[in-house]
Structure 1
Amino acid sequence: MPRKKAKPTRIVKLDYGSAHTEKARYASREDRHFASEIGSADDFHDGAFYLVGVIDGHRGAACAEEVARFLPSVIGGGSSFQDAFARMDRVVRDERSGACCCVATVKGVLLEDAQPTLDVAWLGDCRAFVARRSGGVERLTTDHAPDKERERIEAAGGMLVDDDGCVRVGVRPDDDDDATTVDLLAACRAFGDADFKRPKPVVVATPDVRTMQLDSDCEFIVLCTDGCYEGLPTDERVLEAVKAGIADDESGQAAAAGARAVVDAAVAGGATDDVTCVVLRTVLE
């Protein structure tokens, strides 16, 4: 009698959770995040739709707060990342504070004949990686750094300044060529930062985007703000913390426990900046 063909293993849902530092580096915590399942397979032709993001504010929390409030609904409404980010930047065009971010969507979960698709978009140095059940991690993002965008920055009227070993974007206040001081910013891509975007945008909100298919070997998707890597300098160290948190979890909320373990381990490792982490764990059939 012929053997029955084994049904292929596939991702049937995502367990997601988030965590952040409670104690702020500055007067108020500047990081924000969001994590949600926007709809079920019945609501979308391409299956269940998950949307998560981490937001790293600077020079205050106002811009990060606006991004957390507004950006998910724009992306969830079907806008491309490029259109959504451009629209978001128009909303905060007068905001002096700024925000870098990393956002991810997963589509296609629960569909019988399709592999889920992961899309990641980012500004600045927030990071994302995928961890595999067979071992190893794959970084999905590349930090946006001023020294890598010198030509664009200088063409827009900005400059690069070595600020005690850190290369920053510089602009003269009020576009005054005779100004003796220069305003400095570590980010070269961010929402907000109005004084770095007029008359020409020296800092831009144009995201880079990465797309990949998820298979059953993809165990975790992890997003972190840059403060995480201050205390946990490699993706492998971050993943170790996720797995340790899940192994110790007694709450039944594995992804949230993994995210909390990352934040706690980063702080224990010496992180002084705000730390935020979002974990998506794939659940197999």
Structure 2
Amino acid sequence: MKTENFQVIKSSGEKVDFSLTKLRSSLYRSGADELTVDNIINVVRDELYQGISTKEIYNRAFALLKNSKPIFASKYKLKKAIYELGPTGFPFENFIGALMEYSGYKVEVGKILQGKCVNHEVDVIAIKLKQHIVAECKFHSEKTTTCNVKVPLYINSRYQDIIAQYKDTPLCPNEGWVVTNTRFTADAIAYGKCSGLYLLSWDFPKDNGLKDRIDRLGLYPITVSTLLTNREKQFLLSREIVLCRQLANDVFYLDHLGISETRKTKILDEVSMLCNIQ
């Protein structure tokens, strides 16, 4: 079946041409082998119709992956799993802090720093060697919400106030970051580059965005699990367990939830495969 003339509807309501290449790429990113990807592509392609939503295509591909091998489905749902860290931004801050900590940084989350003019609550402070990062995390529960130029403008003013207070001292930060789970507008990126702020989003910088870092480091949020229930995920998030790797190190939380030994084994197997734990 030809797919060139099929239009799909994005979550924003925008109509775009269906891209077989994008679907194939996202399936490969899950770790699925070529045969599995080809089989899923063939099924999804045969079920296409004019005006199908990208959500429906995703749900179908996800179900097929889950039936093939759950670990593929877990990785495939990464983007959705980040949104599931909501509805508040606090678990996202913890998630970014955990990513930095497992990358070798000394991390503090939600610390108050004195600026020259006013106090500032900094979402994440991360220090490694000569890097001293203060990062602001902007979590959005809606996929269509982007970070426009007002966000880095505001954050840069806070960053400069902190620098003014700690200038010429060992406590002075030397990198200001803005991190979001969605995307930055072109103006926001332009301002970030001009002002010296480091911007990190789902797919920016190219090949080093959140999705790339998570895949590369094997630091998946617990919300990617296809075996934990929503209630169990929320319980773990409330205990600041945001990474699968953390759960692997704190198994007693599963006991606290009253999870059976058989199911616990399956969950830990899933976690181990996601984190590449031998």
TM-score by length of 1: 0.25
Greater strand fraction, Structure 1 or Structure 2:
1
**Larger relative contact order (CA 8 Å, sep ≥ 6):** 1
Greater helix fraction, Structure 1 or Structure 2:
2
TM-score by length of 2: 0.26
